[in-house]
Structure 1
Amino acid sequence: MISAILIAAMVQSAALTGQRQAFVTCLREAVASAKTEKVAGDAFDAYVRGKCAPVEQSFTASMVAFDLKNKVPRKQAASDAKLQIDDYVAGAVDRYKASTGAQ
């Protein structure tokens, strides 16, 4: 019984890790393509959110599902997922601005 629960938790965690890695990869690719396209620093947030929207949605859904399985209320799970996404995007924006000299 306990081993079945542990296996289920590991599978869920692995799925979430895969979604996270896909989102981080998308952010990195968006930074590279934005540099090529010479996207303004102030426009990068919207640019990256547009480029990574499908991956972001999938990652968000995975985070919410993981929290719900762990008895976190839906509203809190959605809020936590949004905060994590916003943190990842803010980090990408900061890195983009720093690498391009944009303010």
Structure 2
Amino acid sequence: MARAATTLDPFNAVAEPKRRQVLEALATGEMAVSDIVGRLGWPQPMVSKHLGVLKEVGLVTSRREGRQRLYSVNGEQLKTIHDWARMFEKFWSHQLLRIKEQAERRAKDLSV
């Protein structure tokens, strides 16, 4: 079965690690392409390509300011991914609780 195009689905778009890095850079606030290039150290065409995909699926928005185009994260679209991932939080919480209990037992055993 053929994979869905990354330009149709936010989940497929963020499956690409480089696009997640672009989103992480934008999490600090609105940025121009040149600022993202500087932060990530990638060639400008690569950054623009990934921004294009993220924009097409609605994960980033852009606006013009003079000759620059400024990009920012579209939190509303990311919420869909967050809500889906939240279903699995019980597994993370369970693991953290287990690790905490083991550490407390070991600390108790060492103090005896």
After TM superposition, the score normalised by the length of structure 1 is: 0.29
Higher strand proportion (structure 1 or 2)? 2
After TM superposition, the score normalised by the length of structure 2 is: 0.27
- Structure possessing the higher radius of gyration over alpha carbons: 2
Higher helix proportion (structure 1 or 2)? 1
> With CA pairs under 8 Å and 6+ residues apart, which has the higher RCO, 1 or 2?
1
